[in-house]
Structure 1
Amino acid sequence: MSTAAYFEQIYQHPDPFQYRDRWYEARKRALTLASLPRQRYRNGWELGCSNGVLTAELAARCDALLATDLSAAALAEASVSTQAHANVRLQQASHPDQWPQGRFDLIVVSEVGYYLSPQDVVTMATQLRGSLADDGLLLACHWVHPFAEARTSAAQVHRTFARGLEEAFCYQDADMLLQGWSAEPVSVARWEGLR
């Protein structure tokens, strides 16, 4: 089964990963949002937005937010989740083959990198760096345990994304890896003029 067919099949259920109900998912979203060093972003992009649960929370931190997903069914759910946010633009796309124009000061890749082949991860990492604004942040968050559909490990995805960028933050526990990178990381204290 192709990756596209797999996601269309699982999104016959509106919340196949239980983003709305699981504490693991709620905690991961809270950690993701808390790790962002800036309170606001001009132009954000969330790759693999799924049903839009995280998208809605990112929208509150972005002036404009592009949210892409491979699955039309997932995007239909995301449109419901984000209906209160006029700054969100949803788009169906298969990455890394289809790529948006523009540069982003926030790019979020959560729970999608390991579905790609190792070569596609390399291609995507190169394209992500090219789409990152000079002051931009690339954030990635992935489940660290092997599973049947994973084609690349979370660790390999993150090592590949990190090439050519400086680490801004890292959080890891027994289940997840959350990291951010930037060309020139700036701490929260520096953003706020405390140092």
Structure 2
Amino acid sequence: MNTRAYFEQIYQQPDPFQYRNRWYEARKRALTLACLPRPRYGNAWELGCSNGVLSAELATRCDALLATDLSEAALADAARSTGHLGNVRLEQARHPEQWPGERFDLIVVSEVGYYLAPQDVVAMAAKLRGSLADDGLLLACHWVHPFDEALSSAQQVHRAFGRGLDEAFCYQDADLLMQAWSREPTSVARWEGLR
């Protein structure tokens, strides 16, 4: 499968995954934002930003947000979603081959990992850990059901991403797996001095 061609073809239609219309997607965004343990992040990165619907909401919790995607058409749509936000930078990139040279205190990977072969997932996981600030959070969310284009399962991706890090939280239901890891996870109650 040529991943870039696949996504360019998909994004010829507006909002192909119906991020703007499906309750499933709205709920997943709400879960993502609610699970973030900090109210604000300094430098964040969203891999696979698609049409920028989540990016626009993440940007309200970040001083700076890098949003990357493989698809030029998706990024054009993301520009429409985030154009009014001065703290969002959009870049076209193929990961793990192309990688930013900075560190992030929040990295969000949503629905990306299973488009990679298992060896590429391992390579991406190592790079993600290298890009994570010492007190940073790596959050991944993936659909758990098999589909034709998937080269890796959600479980394979999350096992690779979490290797060498401590789990900060995990949510799973019949359709999605959302997990986050950190070098030193601290609970919200501890950050707020409640315990």
State the TM-score bracket (shorter-chain normalisation). over 0.9
Q: TM-score, normalised by structure 1?
A: 0.99
Q: Give the deviation of 1:32 after TM superposition.
A: 0.6
Q: Deviations over 1:131-150 (max 9, x none)?
A: 00000000000000000000
Q: Which amino acid aligns with 1:120?
A: D
Instruction: Find the aligned partners of 2:46 and 2:13 in 1 and give their Cα distance.
Output: 21
**What is the aligned partner in structure 2 of residue 179 from structure 1?**
179
**What is the aligned partner in structure 2 of residue 88 from structure 1?**
88
Instruction: Find the aligned partners of 1:192 and 1:82 in 2 and give their Cα distance.
Output: 31
Q: Give the deviation of 1:167 after TM superposition.
A: 0.2
Q: Deviations over 1:69-99 (max 9, x none)?
A: 0000000000000012100000000000000
Q: Is the 8 A contact 1:113 1:154 kept in 2?
A: yes
Q: Give the deviation of 1:14 after TM superposition.
A: 2.2
- Is 1:9 aligned to 2:9, yes or no? yes
Instruction: Find the aligned partners of 2:87 and 2:193 in 1 and give their Cα distance.
Output: 28
Q: TM-score, normalised by structure 2?
A: 0.99
**What is the aligned partner in structure 1 of residue 128 from structure 2?**
128
- Is 1:64 aligned to 2:64, yes or no? yes
SS in 1 for 2:141: strand
Instruction: Find the aligned partners of 1:101 and 1:13 in 2 and give their Cα distance.
Output: 33
Instruction: Find the aligned partners of 1:115 and 1:191 in 2 and give their Cα distance.
Output: 36
Number of aligned pairs? Answer: 195
Larger mean Cα displacement after TM superposition, 183-192 or 130-139: 183-192
Q: Deviations over 1:48-80 (max 9, x none)?
A: 000000000000000000000000000000000
Q: Which amino acid aligns with 2:111?
A: E
**What is the aligned partner in structure 1 of residue 145 from structure 2?**
145
Instruction: Find the aligned partners of 2:38 and 2:176 in 1 and give their Cα distance.
Output: 22
Structure 1: gaps of 5 or more residues: none
Structure 2: gaps of 5 or more residues: none
Q: Deviations over 1:108-162 (max 9, x none)?
A: 0000100001000000000000000000000000000000000000000001101
**What is the aligned partner in structure 2 of residue 109 from structure 1?**
109
Instruction: Find the aligned partners of 1:160 and 1:77 in 2 and give their Cα distance.
Output: 30
Q: Is the 8 A contact 1:14 1:74 kept in 2?
A: no
Runs of 4+ in structure 1 displaced over 4 angstroms?
none
Q: Which amino acid aligns with 1:155?
A: Q
Q: For the aligned residues, what is the CA RMSD?
A: 0.6
SS in 1 for 2:146: coil
Instruction: Find the aligned partners of 2:59 and 2:186 in 1 and give their Cα distance.
Output: 22
The percentage of counterpart residues that share the same residue type is 80
Q: Which amino acid aligns with 2:107?
A: I
Q: Which amino acid aligns with 1:66?
A: L
SS in 2 for 1:19: coil
Q: Give the deviation of 1:30 after TM superposition.
A: 0.4
